Chain A
Amino acid sequence: MSETALVDRRWIERGAERASTMRFLLWLFPWVCLLLLGVYAAGLCFYYGLNQTNMDNRFAFGLWIFLDLTVIALGAGAFFTGFLVYILKQQDLKPVLNSAVVIGLTCYSGAVAVLMVDVGQPLRAWFTFWYPNTHSMLTEVTFCISCYLLVLVLEYIPVLVKNRQLRRVPSFLVFEHQAHKLVPVLAGVGAFLSFFHQGSLGGLYGVLRGRPFAYRQGFMIWPSTFFLFILSAIAVGPSFLMLVVATAEKITGQKLVDFRVYRKLGFISGVMLAIYVAAKAIDTYVWLNVTSPSMGFGPWDYYSYWPLSSTFLFTATVPLGLLPAILFIVPRTARHRGLLLLAAALTCCGVALNRFVMTVQTLALPTLPFDPFLKYTPSWQEVATFGAVVAYGVIVYSLSYRYLPMFEAMKGE
Chain B
Amino acid sequence: MSARYGMVIDLDRCTGCGACMIACAAENNVSPPEPRATWRTGITPMVVRALSNGKDGTDRREAFIPITCMHCEHETPCVSVCPQQAVEFDKSTGIVMQMPQRCLGCRYCMTACPYHARYFNWWDPQWPPGMEKSLNPGVSVRMRGVVEKCNLCHSRYHDALQKAAAAGKKEIDVADYVPACVEACPTGAIQFGDLADPKDPATIAAKSPDAFRLLEAIGTEPKIHYKTTQAWIRALADRQSDRPTEAPHV
Chain B residues with CB below 8 A from A124, complex form: 84, 102-105
* CB of B49 to closest CB in A, whole Å: 6
Which of A173-226 touch B at CB < 8 Å? 204, 207-212
Give the Cβ gap from B39 to chain A, nearest Cβ, in Å: 9
Q: Which among B34, B218, B248 is the interface contact of A51 at CB below 8 angstroms? A: B34
Q: Which of A228-236, A275-283, A331-339, A363-371 contacts B (4 or more CB under 8 A)?
A: A363-371
Q: Residues of A contacting B36 with CB < 8 Å?
A: 51
Question: How does the 8 Å CB contact mask read for B178-216 relative to A, with 1 for contact and 0 for none?
Answer: 000000000000000000000000000000000000111
The answer, among A57, A128, A304, A369, for a CB contact under 8 Å with B116, is A57
Question: B131 within 8 Å of A by Cβ?
Answer: no
Contact yes or no, A49 B123, CB < 8 A: yes
How far does the Cβ of A142 sit from chain B's closest Cβ, in whole Å?
6
- Which of chain A's residues have a CB closer than 8 A to the CB of B144? 49-51, 120
Assess whether B77 is in contact with A208, with CB atoms less than 8 Å apart: yes
> B56 at interface (Cβ–Cβ under 8 A)?
no
User: When chains A and B are docked, how far (Å) is the Cα of A136 from the Cα of B75?
Assistant: 12
8 Å CB interface, B37-84 against A: 38, 40-41, 49, 51, 65, 67, 75, 77, 80-84
Residue B240 at the A interface, CB < 8 A? yes
Residues of A contacting B239 in the complex (Cβ-Cβ under 8 angstroms): 369
**Given contacts A119-B145, A207-B80, A210-B220, is CB(A131)–CB(B85) below 8 Å?**
yes
B122 at interface, CB cutoff 8 A? yes
Given contacts A56-B38, A128-B83, contact A371 B114 (CB under 8 A): no
Q: Is B237 an interface residue (CB 8 A)?
A: yes
| Residues in A119-175 with C-beta less than 8 Å from chain B | 119-121, 124-125, 127-128, 131-133, 135-139, 142
Contact residues in A for B120 (Cβ distance below 8 Å)? 50, 57, 60, 120
- In the complex, the answer to whether B114 meets A211 with C-beta atoms within 8 Å is yes
Q: In whole Å, how far is B165's beta carbon from the nearest beta carbon of chain A?
A: 29
Q: Digit string of B215-250 for contact with A (CB within 8 Å is 1, else 0)?
A: 111111000000000000000111111101111100
A367 to B38, CA, bound (A): 20
Interface membership of chain B positions 157-189, coded 1 if the CB is closer than 8 angstroms to chain A and 0 otherwise: 000000000000000000000000000000000
Q: Does B111 contact A (CB under 8 A)?
A: yes
Of residues A119, A212, A297, A370, which shows the largest number of chain B Cβ atoms within 10 Å of its Cβ?
A370
User: Could you tell me the distance in whole angstroms from the C-beta of A113 to the nearest C-beta in chain B?
Assistant: 15
> Does A58 touch B at the CB level, under 8 Å?
yes
Interface of B is mostly: loop
Q: Is A296 an interface residue (CB 8 A)?
A: yes
Contacts of B41 in A (CB 8 A): 51, 56-57
With known contacts A121-B103, A127-B104, A138-B108, A369–B241 Cβ distance under 8 A: yes
Query: Is A295 part of the binding interface, using a Cβ–Cβ cutoff of 8 Å?
Result: yes
CB closest residue in chain B, given A59: B40
> Does B118 count as interface, using CB distance less than 8 angstroms?
yes
Q: Are B111 and A367 in contact (CB under 8 A)?
A: no
A254 at the interface (CB under 8 A from B): no
* Interface flags, A47-63, vs B, CB<8A=1, else 0: 00111000011111100
Task: Please state if B83 and A138 are interface contacts (CB–CB under 8 Å).
Answer: yes
Q: A residues within 8 A CB of B104? A: 119-121, 124-125, 127-128
- Decide yes or no whether B106 CB sits under 8 A from chain A: yes
Q: Which residues of A contact B216 (CB under 8 A)?
A: 296
Q: Is the interface of A mostly helix, strand, loop or mixed?
A: loop
Does any Cβ of B come within 8 Å of A294's Cβ? yes
Does B110 sit at the interface, judged by CB under 8 A?
yes
Q: Closest B residue to A369 by CB, please name it.
A: B241
Chain B residue nearest to A48 in the complex (CB) = B123
Task: Report Cα–Cα, A133/B104, bound state, in Å.
Answer: 13
Cβ B218 vs Cβ A212 within 8 A: yes
A51-B34, A138-B106, A296-B215 known; A133-B84 Cβ under 8 A: yes
Map CB proximity to B onto A367-378 as digits: 1 under 8 Å, 0 otherwise.
111111100000
A372 and B245 within 8 A (CB)? yes
Report whether A210 and B112 are in contact in the complex, using a CB–CB cutoff of 8 Å. yes
Contacts of B241 in A (CB 8 A): 301, 366-371
Instruction: Across the interface, name the chain A residue whose C-beta is closest to B44.
Output: A57
A363 contacts across to B, CB distance below 8 A: 111
**A48–B124 alpha-carbon span in the complex (Å):** 9
Whether B122 pairs with A139 at a CB distance below 8 angstroms is no
* Closest A residue to B122 using CB positions: A51
B114 x A370 contact (CB < 8 A): no
> What is the chain B residue whose CB lies nearest that of A372?
B244
Q: How far is the CB of A310 from chain B (nearest CB, A)?
A: 14
Q: Establish whether residues A57 and B40, one from each chain, have CB atoms under 8 Å apart when the complex forms.
A: yes
The 7 lowest CB-CB distance pairs between A and B, nearest first, are A120-B105, A120-B145, A210-B114, A296-B217, A56-B40, A60-B107, A60-B110
17 further contact pairs, Cβ within 8 A, besides A118-B106, A369-B236, A372-B244: A50-B120, A51-B34, A51-B144, A60-B110, A61-B107, A120-B106, A120-B120, A127-B84, A133-B84, A135-B80, A207-B80, A209-B218, A209-B219, A210-B220, A298-B240, A367-B114, A367-B241
A-B contact list, 6 entries, CB within 8 Å: A51-B41, A57-B116, A296-B217, A368-B115, A368-B116, A372-B246
Which residues does B use to contact A, with CB under 8 Å? 34, 36, 38, 40-41, 49, 51, 65, 67, 75, 77, 80-86, 102-108, 110-116, 118-124, 144-147, 214-220, 236-242, 244-248
